[in-house]
């Protein structure tokens, strides 16, 4: 619930936008889900106006879309759009991890190790819903040392567009029996090893393997979902 009295000089609309943005990044809504202004206003304890204005901003951010009946929903990403986002992620996140390699401290490297262990434990216990948030936490602790707030903003924008589909992908991969293979490939361990060696090039390559590895496995469920499969699915490359 929004609490203006604890928010300093931030407007109610700014708080509502941040709350909804975080909910989308955390995949609390599903791809294609219609979101009600009235219900979100009631949930957040505010009027409809700041929610409506926040929805409009999220449309500009490509995180929501407007339907012909003027309702709002999360986009169902086409195969071409997913490929485009992955290519941009490889470029931007690869750059971020290369920059972070020389700056990240031992405390945060230790955090990355703990997160990786938690993700594997979540997999072992079948707690799929914990895996996507842990994956996000891993990546953004890593990128926080890149020294560029603007670069992080661009990366966050892509994650906001893609997180609901990413979480859906985790569930679908496990249903197809491929989730275990993906997690056991150890891309995050490779990133950590490169960080400890202060090897920016190795860290960047490990990050690219992490992203492209999941994308390649995502083709399994993209091909089985006609609403997402609207075009060719070629390998992600930075070129």
In DSSP notation, 66-115 reads E-TTS-EE-----HHHHHHHHHHHHHHHHHHHHHHHTT--HHHHHHHHHH
pLDDT interval class at 229 (50, 70, 90): very low
Same domain, 39 and 143: no
In DSSP notation, 185-227 reads T-HHHHHHHHHHTT-HHHHHHHHHHHHHHHHHHHHHHHHT-TT
Same domain, 145 and 198: yes
Question: Using one digit for the tens of pLDDT, what is the confidence trace for 43-59?
Answer: 999 999 999 999 999 99
For residue 88, tell me if it sits in a domain: yes
Cα separation, 148 vs 4, in Å, equals: 30
Question: Using one digit for the tens of pLDDT, what is the confidence trace for 157-172?
Answer: 999 998 888 777 666 6
Assessment of whether the complete model's pTM goes beyond 0.85:
no
> Which of these three, 73, 94, 125, is where a domain ends?
73
Same domain, 142 and 124: yes
Cα separation, 230 vs 202, in Å, equals: 34
Same domain, 142 and 65: no
Considering its fold, how many domains does the chain have in total? 2
Domain that holds residue 95: 79-223
């Amino acid at each position: 619930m929004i609490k203006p009295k604890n928010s300093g000089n931030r407007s109610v609309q700014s708080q509502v936008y941040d709350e909804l943005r975080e909910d989308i990044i955390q995949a609390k809504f599903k791809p294609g889900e219609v979101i009600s202004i009235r219900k979100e206003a009631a949930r957040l304890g505010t009027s409809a106006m700041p929610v409506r204005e926040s929805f409009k901003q999220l449309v500009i951010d490509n995180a929501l879309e407007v339907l012909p009946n003027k309702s709002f929903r999360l986009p169902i990403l086409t195969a071409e759009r997913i490929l485009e986002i992955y290519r941009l992620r490889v470029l931007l996140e690869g750059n971020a991890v290369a920059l972070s390699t020389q700056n990240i401290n031992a405390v945060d490297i230790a955090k990355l190790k703990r997160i990786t262990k938690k993700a594997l434990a979540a997999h072992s216990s079948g707690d799929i819903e914990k895996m996507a948030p842990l994956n996000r936490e891993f990546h953004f602790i890593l990128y926080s040392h890149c020294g560029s707030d603007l670069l992080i903003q661009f990366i966050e924008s892509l994650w906001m567009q893609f997180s609901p589909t990413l979480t859906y992908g985790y569930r679908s991969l496990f249903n197809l029996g491929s989730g275990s293979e993906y997690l056991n490939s150890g891309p995050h361990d490779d990133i950590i090893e490169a960080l400890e060696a202060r090897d920016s090039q190795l860290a960047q390559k490990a990050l690219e393997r992490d992203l492209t590895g999941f994308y390649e496995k995502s083709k399994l469920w993209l091909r089985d979902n006609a609403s997402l499969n609207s075009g060719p699915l070629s390998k992600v490359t930075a070129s």
